[in-house]
Structure 1
Amino acid sequence: MMSRKEEISQENRRARKWFIPIVIVSGVVGAILGILMVFLGTTGIQRAAGAMTQKVTMLAPYLLAAEAVIFNTFAFAMYRKSRVLLREWDGEEEEIPNQIDIKLNYALWALSLNQVISFLLFALGVDLRPEDMTGVRNELILAVVFMVNVFISIWIQQKVVDLSKEMNPEKKGSVYDIRFQSKWMDSCDEAEKMQVYQAAYSAFKVTNIAFMIVWLFAFLAIEFAGTGVFACVLISILWGIHVSVYCFKTIQLSK
C-alpha cells in the first residue's frame, strides 16, 4: 500500500504529463505571435491601431445605443416572461419558481454585460481633444446615450429584484441601497449562499486565467503598439487585489 507521500508524487507525475506540453505549446504560440509582430512591423501596427481607434471613437455613440437597446430589451423581455409565469403560478408547482429564477438570472446577466460594454464604449468614444464640432457633438451624444442607458438598466434591475422579492418574501434589499449586496446575501438561505459561493469560486478561477491573458496582450501592445506600461500596471494592480482578497478571506474564514 502506497504512503501518502507516494500518492502525492504519483499525482504530480500524472499532472506533469499535461502541464509540460501545455507550457511548450504556449511558448511556441507566443514565439509565433512575436515573429508575426516583427514581420508586420511596429509602425504598421501602430498605424492600424490608430485608425481603428479613430473609427471606434466616431462610432461609439451609435454602437453604445445599439448594444443598450439589445441588452435592455432582452433583460426586460425576460422580466416580463417571469412576471407572466408568477401571475399564473398556483403556488403548488415547484418547476415554475425555478423557471422564473433562470429567466431573472438571464436578465441580470444581460444587464451586467450591458454595463461592462457601455463603460468600454464610453471610454473608447471620449476624445479629450476634439478637433472640430463633429467631435464635440459625438461626445455630447455619447454622454446622453450613456446616462439614459444607465438609468434604464437600473430601472430594469429594480424590476427584476422586486419580482424576486415578491416570489420570496424573505428577501431583503433595494437596488438603490449602497449595502444592497450584503443585505441580499444575509436574506438568502444556506442553499442559495452555497450556489453563490460556488459561482464566485468559478469566477475566481476563470478571472485568474483572464488576467494572465489580458496582461500578455497588454505587454505585447507595449512592445509593438507603443501603448506604454500603464495598462500592464493597472492589470497587475487589479490582479493583485483579486488574489489578495481571496487569500485574505480564506485566512479569515480559517480562524
Structure 2
Amino acid sequence: MKSQQKKTGIYLRFALMIVVSALVGGLLSMLVNCNLDRLSDLGSGVSGGLYRAGLPLLASGLVWSAVSTGVYLSARGPMRRAEEDDDAFETANRRLCLAMILNSLLFPWIMITIALAVVPTTGTTRFFGLTLAILLLLLVWSIAVQALCVQATKKLSPEKRGNVFDTRFQRDWYASCDEAEQKTIGDCSYFTFRVMNLVYPFAMVALLIVGMYWQINAMWFVLVGGLWLLQMGCYQLRCYRLQHSRRTHGKESV
C-alpha cells in the first residue's frame, strides 16, 4: 500500500512539474512579447558593452593569476613543516588545492574574454598587439602556476605521478590516486554531470524563447544542443562499454 502511494506521489509530482514548467514558459513568453523593444535595446546595449570591455576583462585575468600565485606562495611555509606537523600538511595541501582551483577557472575566463576582445566590429583591433601580449602572458603564467602546484603536491605526496607538459598527465595523475581519491573524482564528475543536465535544457529553452522573437543564428541551437548530445553520448557509451565489457570478461573467466 505504501509502495503504491509512493509511486502515485512520484507521478503527481512529475505531472505538477510539467504543468508548472509550461505555465512559467508561457509567462516568460508573454513578458518578452510585452517588452520586446525594451529587451531588444537592453540586449544590444549589454552585448556592445561586453565587446567594448573585452580587453579590460582579459587584462583582469592578470589579477586572477596574481591571486592564484599568492595562494601558492602561502603554501610554501606550511610545506616545510609538513613532514613533522599534520596540521601544516593539511594547510599546505588545502592552499595548493585552492591555487589549482583558481588557476583552472582562469582558462575558461581567458577564452571568453579573448573572444570579446578580438571581435573586429568593435574597433578593438587597434589594440591587437596589446591583446596578444596579455593573452600570451596569461597562458604562460597559468601553465607555470599549474606546474608549480603539481610539483609541490608531488613533494607532499611522493606517490603522485604525472607531468603537466605531457598529454597523458590527467590519466597518469588519476592512476596514481588512491581508491578514496578516485572515488572523490568520480563523485565530483557525477555531480557535474547532473548540474549540466539541468543547465542544457534551460539554455535550450532560453534560446527557443529568444528565437521566437528575434532572428538568431541557427548555429547557437546547434552549438548548445551539440554539446548536450556530446555529453550524453560520452556518458552513455562509456557506461555501455564498461558494463558489457565486465560481463563479457566475467563469462570468459567462468
Asked which structure has the greater RCO (Cα within 8 Å, sep 6+), the reply is 1
In structure 2, C-alpha distance between the alignment counterparts of 1:10 and 1:249, rounded to whole Å: 36
Cα pair distance change 1:18/1:83, threshold 3 Å: farther
Q: Is the 8 A contact 1:49 1:225 kept in 2?
A: no
Match of 2:22 in 1: 27
Within 5 Å, give how 1:110-149 maps onto structure 2.
Answer: 110-129=102-121, 134-149=123-138
Cα pair distance change 1:62/1:187, threshold 3 Å: same
In structure 2, C-alpha distance between the alignment counterparts of 1:140 and 1:49, rounded to whole Å: 29
Cα pair distance change 1:141/1:54, threshold 3 Å: farther
In structure 1, C-alpha distance between the alignment counterparts of 2:238 and 2:87, rounded to whole Å: 36
Q: Is the 8 A contact 2:55 2:116 kept in 1?
A: no
Selected match of 2:189 from 194, 200, 215: 200
Cα pair distance change 1:101/1:253, threshold 3 Å: farther
Matched, 1:221 2:210: yes
Match of 1:100 in 2: 92
Cα shift readout 1:126-171 (whole Å, capped 9, x = no counterpart): 22346xxx43223433332222111111111111111101111111
How much does 1:17 deviate? 4.2
Q: Is the 8 A contact 2:78 2:92 kept in 1?
A: yes
Cα pair distance change 1:12/1:32, threshold 3 Å: same
In structure 1, C-alpha distance between the alignment counterparts of 2:196 and 2:169, rounded to whole Å: 24
Q: Is the 8 A contact 1:76 1:107 kept in 2?
A: yes
Match of 2:73 in 1: 80
Cα pair distance change 1:104/1:216, threshold 3 Å: farther
Q: Is the 8 A contact 2:117 2:124 kept in 1?
A: no
Q: Say which SS state the counterpart of residue 171 (structure 1) adopts.
A: coil
How much does 1:199 deviate? 0.8
In structure 2, C-alpha distance between the alignment counterparts of 1:160 and 1:136, rounded to whole Å: 35
How much does 1:217 deviate? 2.0
In structure 1, C-alpha distance between the alignment counterparts of 2:116 and 2:212, rounded to whole Å: 21
Cα shift readout 1:165-219 (whole Å, capped 9, x = no counterpart): 1111111111111111111111111111111111111111111111112222222
Percentage identity across paired residues of the two chains = 23
Within 5 Å, give how 1:1-255 maps onto structure 2.
Answer: 7=3, 9-41=4-36, 44-66=38-60, 68-89=61-82, 91-129=83-121, 134-254=123-243, 255=245
TM-score (norm 1): 0.86
2:241 alignment partner AA: Q
Q: RMSD of aligned C-alpha atoms?
A: 2.1
Cα shift readout 1:40-76 (whole Å, capped 9, x = no counterpart): 12x553443233222221211111111x133212211
Q: How many residues align?
A: 244
Structure 1: gaps of 5 or more residues: none
Structure 2: gaps of 5 or more residues: 246-254
Match of 2:249 in 1: none
Cα pair distance change 1:31/1:55, threshold 3 Å: same
Cα pair distance change 1:146/1:217, threshold 3 Å: farther
TM-score (norm 2): 0.86
Cα shift readout 1:87-124 (whole Å, capped 9, x = no counterpart): 122x2443433333322222222122211122111112
Q: Is the 8 A contact 1:172 1:183 kept in 2?
A: yes
Q: Is the 8 A contact 2:118 2:125 kept in 1?
A: no
